[in-house]
Each structure stands twice: as C-alpha cells, then as structure tokens.
Copies of this chain bind each other. A is one copy, B any other.
Amino acid sequence: MTGNNGGTILVVGSVALDEIATPFGRVEEIIGGAGVYFSAAASLFGKVHLVGVVGDDYPLHELEFLEKRGVDLMGLQRASGTSFRWGGVYDYDMNTRETTHTRLGVFADFQPDLPVPSRSAEWVFLGNIDPVLQLHVLDQVIAPKLVACDTMNYWIEGSNEALLEVIGRIDMLTINDEEARQLSGSPNLSRAARWIQERGPRHVVIKKGEHGAILFTDESVFFSPGYPLEEVEDPTGAGDAFAGGLIGRLARAGAADPMELRRAVVYGCALGSFACEAFGPGRLADVSLEEIEARVSAFRHLTYFEEKPEGVT
C-alpha cells in the first residue's frame, strides 16, 4: 500500500459511442469503449482512475453511474471534435462479429497524460490503444504492484516493435485466443502463452469468449469456463469487463499470489458474463456485489467433481 492510493486502480482506454447489432436487437450511440467497461466492472471492487478522451458530443451524464461508484474522471479529457465511435454486427451464435465502422475522432490525437493522483495507482490496466501511448503511460506510473495490458490484431500487425517493448515492461498480458496465436506465430495456446511469457509478462491470460479464460503463470495453468448464460444479449465489452473484474479483485485482495490470481480470473469471468446480459454497460451499472458472489459460487459448482462443495445440495 502506497500512501493514500493503496489499492487504487488506473485504466487508460477508449471512451466510445457504439452502434451494436445482434440477433436480439440494435442500439446506436450507446456509451462503450474499453475504459468504460473496465471501470464499470473494476469500480465494484476499488477506487478507479479513468484516463481517456471524449469529444464535445459525449453524453457525460451517462457516466454518472461511474462517478457514484467513486471512479475519478479527472483524467477523462474533453476535446473539441467528435467522440470515438465503433460499430459491430454479431453473428447468430454471438461468437463472431464484424466491425462495421471505427471513427477515431478526438481519439486520433489522444495523449494519455496522467493526473498526479492516478500516477501512484498500484494496479494498472493499459486498454487496447496504440502501444506507443501505452509506453507513454508506463513512463508516468510510479511503482505499480501490477501492470496488465490488452492489445489487438491491429497493433500486432502494425506496431509490432512498440508492442513488444510494452510486453517487455508489463506483468500481465490479457489477450484473446486468436490474437495470442497471431502474436506468437503458434497455433497452440500453451506454446503461445509461453512465447509471450518469455518476452516479459509473468502472467498471460488468454480470453476465449464463451469458452472462458486460461491463466498461465510461472507455476501453473488455470482454466475458468465461461458462465453458461441462457440469454446473451450483447457480448460487447465482455473482455474489458473481464479485465475490470480481474484487476478489481486483485486490488481488493491486495496481492497477486497464485491463488488470488486464479480467483481473480473467476471474478473476471463473472463480470464478463454480466456484461453480456444487456446492451452496453447497463448490467454492470446495476449488478450488486451479492450477485457477483453468487455467480462466483456458481463457477465453483460448475467445475467441481470431487465432493459436494459447501452450498451444493
């Protein structure tokens, strides 16, 4: 714990307006972006500083639910111009989606300058942005306990060198299965994780959407299934809510030892599943800690095959 910022979380990521179409409906101009989904999940566990940028067209009042949860928006820059906009269409089984548009707007000139209070955050998440900007964030943070980072195919292809520099300076990479294969050049996920670990991060978390997530550490491999939801309304942001649950839980635990890391991955999967229950971050805005604990308990039952754990009848 470092002074007044013990246990605090910093996230740098997009704050967007999304247009989403799934087999169940269609929404436009809904708040989204990695920074929003991450903050909505992580703020259930601890103090979050959100750093990002919005244009003068952004409905800031829709972020009030984050402020009520104590999210510090001092680092959310207001720039002149249009906000970042993203659009996607999901396939019938929700496992694949097509990006219909990406309009950077004010995000094109984003410089993540951290307000002083956020620099001493102990738990840092670098959302999926240009690795050059991720490096700029790393240059500003002071002695974090753990830095996690996300990325995507766009940066793997276009900014490989800067991305590898980031990877060399972080503790944990969260990445989806296809991206892990692409980054490492290995179709095998275990080998892909090892390839990444050899380049820096002690921990690699591979996100597999509805199939769950795998955590690779020095000591072991941990697998958490995806929660078998009967209604998936909109998977947008589930990966960022996953990261928010994961980092939030670690911040609350105050440690990243092997068993806390495992538990944190389960909390991540729980938050990712809640994110899918409604369009946009709405479900993350109203989910309670009790509901989260109940879902974590359901995960416990989901994989148990020895004897009845407490609470199973």
Q: Does the CB pair B301–A220 fall under 8 Å?
A: yes
| A116: interface (CB < 8 Å) | no
Q: Does the CB pair A225–B228 fall under 8 Å?
A: no
CA distance A141 to B191 in the complex (A): 46
Question: Which listed residue (B194, B223, B231, B259) contacts A303, Cβ 8 A?
Answer: B223
- A93 to chain B: which residues have CB within 8 Å? 181, 187
Point out residues on A near B: beta carbons under 8 Å.
Answer: 23, 92-94, 181, 187-191, 194, 208, 210-212, 214, 220-225, 228-232, 259, 262-263, 265-266, 300-309, 312
CA distance A262 to B308 in the complex (A): 11
- A222 to chain B: which residues have CB within 8 Å? 302-305
Q: Does the CB pair A228–B223 fall under 8 Å?
A: yes
Name 11 A/B residue pairs within 8 A (Cβ), A-sorted.
A23-B187, A190-B228, A212-B223, A220-B301, A222-B304, A225-B303, A259-B307, A262-B304, A262-B305, A263-B305, A266-B305
Q: Give 5 A-B pairs besides A189-B228, A191-B230, A224-B303 with Cβ atoms closer than 8 angstroms.
A: A188-B230, A212-B223, A222-B305, A300-B306, A306-B309
Number of copies: 2
CA distance A228 to B266 in the complex (A): 18
CA distance A142 to B308 in the complex (A): 34
Q: Does the CB pair B214–A211 fall under 8 Å?
A: no
Q: Does the CB pair B300–A187 fall under 8 Å?
A: no
Q: Chain B residue with minimal CB distance to A307?
A: B259
Nearest CB of B to A122, in Å: 22
Nearest CB of B to A126, in Å: 25
Q: Chain B residue with minimal CB distance to A211?
A: B211
Q: Chain B residue with minimal CB distance to A265?
A: B305
Q: Does the CB pair B208–A228 fall under 8 Å?
A: no
Q: Does the CB pair A259–B228 fall under 8 Å?
A: no
- A306 to chain B: which residues have CB within 8 Å? 259, 300, 309
- A23 to chain B: which residues have CB within 8 Å? 187
- A308 to chain B: which residues have CB within 8 Å? 259
Q: Chain B residue with minimal CB distance to A92?
A: B187
Q: Does the CB pair A303–B303 fall under 8 Å?
A: yes
- A265 to chain B: which residues have CB within 8 Å? 305
Q: Does the CB pair B94–A223 fall under 8 Å?
A: no
- A301 to chain B: which residues have CB within 8 Å? 220
